[in-house]
Amino acid sequence: MRASHRYIRWLAIFGISLVALGFATVISGSLTAVAQGASSFVGATHSSPITLNADDTLMAVVNPDVNTVTFFDVGGDRNVSLGEIAVGTEPNGVVLSPDGKFAYVANTVDGTVSVLQVDVSKQPVASVIATLEVGIEPYGIAITPNGSKIYVTNSRSNSVSVIDTATNTVAKTITNIGPSVGAEPRGIAITNNGNGDDTDETVYVTHFYSFANQGKLDGEDDSKTGLLTRISTQNDAVAGQIVLTNMADTGFKAQGDAINRIEPGNDPRFVTGAYPNQMQAVGIKNGFAYLPNVGASPNGPTRFNVNTQALVHVINTQTNQDTALVTNLHRAVADQPEGTIKLFLAVPWAIDFKDNENVGYVVSAASNVVVKVAVDPTTGALTVQTNPQTQTVQTVNAGRNPRGIVLNNTDTRAYVMNYISRDVTVIDVTRFPEQVIATMRSSALPASGTEEEIVLAGKELYNTSIGEFANSAGNMASEGWQSCSSCHPWGLSDNVVWIFGAGPRRTISQHTDFAGGTMRALNWSAIFDEQQDFELNIRGVSGGAGLLLNADGSALEDVRNIGGLTIGDPPALAVLNSSRGQLQVRTPSGGLVNAWDAILAYEKTIRAPISPLNGSTDPEIAEGRQIFINNNCQVCHGGPKWSSSSLAGPITDIALITRGQILSQLVNVGTFNPEDSNEVRANGRAPLGEDGFVPPSLIGVFMSSPYYHNGSAPSLEAVLSDTFIQHRSAGTGGIDGLSNPEDIRKLVKFLLSIDASTEPVNP
- How many domains does the chain contain in total? 4
pLDDT band at 565 (very low <50, low <70, confident <90, very high): very low
Please check whether residues 532 and 572 belong to one and the same domain: yes
Residue 18 placed within a domain:
yes
Q: What is the pLDDT of residues 632-667, one digit of tens each?
A: 999 999 999 999 999 988 887 777 888 889 999 999
Residue 329 placed within a domain:
yes
Q: What is the pLDDT of residues 670-689, one digit of tens each?
A: 889 999 999 999 999 999 99
pLDDT band at 725 (very low <50, low <70, confident <90, very high): low
Long-range CB pairs of 364-367, under 8 A, 24+ apart, other chains included: 364/310, 364/329, 364/395, 364/402, 365/401, 365/402, 365/403, 365/419, 365/463, 365/485, 366/401, 366/463, 366/464, 366/465, 366/466, 366/480, 366/482, 366/483, 366/485, 366/486, 367/343, 367/465, 367/466, 367/480
291: helix, coil or strand?
A: strand
Distance between CA atoms of residues 363 and 142, nearest Å? 19
Mean pLDDT, residues 545-550 taken together: 80
pLDDT band at 535 (very low <50, low <70, confident <90, very high): confident
Distance between CA atoms of residues 289 and 382, nearest Å? 11
Residue 644 placed within a domain:
yes
Q: What is the pLDDT of residues 494-505, one digit of tens each?
A: 999 999 999 999
pLDDT value, residue 737: 61
Please check whether residues 55 and 149 belong to one and the same domain: yes
Last residue of a domain, one of 444, 479, 513: 444
State the CATH number of the domain containing residue 167.
2.130.10.10
Q: Note if the bond before 301 is cis, omega within 30 degrees.
A: yes
Residue 612 placed within a domain:
no
Are residues 423 and 441 in contact, defined by beta-carbon separation less than 8 angstroms? yes
pTM over 0.85: yes
Q: Note if the bond before 124 is cis, omega within 30 degrees.
A: yes
Q: Tell me the backbone φ, ψ of residue 581, rounded to 5 degrees.
A: 75, 10
Q: What is the pLDDT of residues 335-369, one digit of tens each?
A: 999 989 899 999 999 999 999 999 999 999 999 99
**Does the structure show a pLDDT above 60 at 177?**
yes
Q: What is the pLDDT of residues 51-62, one digit of tens each?
A: 999 999 999 999
Q: What is the pLDDT of residues 683-721, one digit of tens each?
A: 999 999 999 999 999 999 998 788 999 998 888 998 887
Residue 609 placed within a domain:
no
Please check whether residues 410 and 548 belong to one and the same domain: no
pLDDT band at 558 (very low <50, low <70, confident <90, very high): low
Of 487, 466, 484, 485, the closest CA to residue 297 belongs to 487
Residue 582 placed within a domain:
yes
Number of H helices, E strands in the chain: 10, 43
Q: What is the DSSP letter of 503?
A: E
Please check whether residues 657 and 715 belong to one and the same domain: yes
pLDDT value, residue 514: 86
Which positions ≥6 away from 709 have C-beta within 8 Å?
497, 503, 504, 505, 506, 524, 671, 672, 689, 693
Specify the DSSP element, H or E, that contains 142. strand 138-143
**Does the structure show a pLDDT above 50 at 562?**
no
Mean pLDDT, residues 97-117 taken together: 98
Residue 611 placed within a domain:
no
Are residues 73 and 61 in contact, defined by beta-carbon separation less than 8 angstroms? no
Range of the domain at 6: 1-38
| Secondary structure of 407-458 as H, E, C letters | ECCCCCEEEEEECCCCEEEEEECCCCCCEEEEEEECCCCCCCCCHHHHHHHH
pLDDT value, residue 549: 75
Please check whether residues 653 and 690 belong to one and the same domain: yes
pLDDT value, residue 445: 96
Specify the DSSP element, H or E, that contains 625. helix 619-630
Are residues 343 and 381 in contact, defined by beta-carbon separation less than 8 angstroms? no
Please check whether residues 25 and 95 belong to one and the same domain: no
**Does the structure show a pLDDT above 90 at 215?**
no
Are residues 246 and 234 in contact, defined by beta-carbon separation less than 8 angstroms? no
Please check whether residues 418 and 350 belong to one and the same domain: yes
pLDDT value, residue 71: 98
Mean pLDDT, residues 165-193 taken together: 86
Please check whether residues 413 and 542 belong to one and the same domain: no
Last residue of a domain, one of 603, 633, 652: 603
Please check whether residues 499 and 564 belong to one and the same domain: yes
Please check whether residues 276 and 312 belong to one and the same domain: yes
At residue 671's C-alpha, the angle toward residues 516 and 678, to 5°, is 110
Please check whether residues 495 and 407 belong to one and the same domain: no
CA distances (Å), origin 366, targets 350, 362, 517, 532: 12, 12, 31, 21
Mean pLDDT, residues 8-27 taken together: 33
Last residue of a domain, one of 603, 628, 648: 603
Mean pLDDT, residues 590-599 taken together: 87
Residue 451 placed within a domain:
no
Of 637, 755, 614, 751, the closest CA to residue 697 belongs to 637
Mean pLDDT, residues 532-560 taken together: 77
Distance between CA atoms of residues 422 and 261, nearest Å? 47
Please check whether residues 170 and 233 belong to one and the same domain: yes
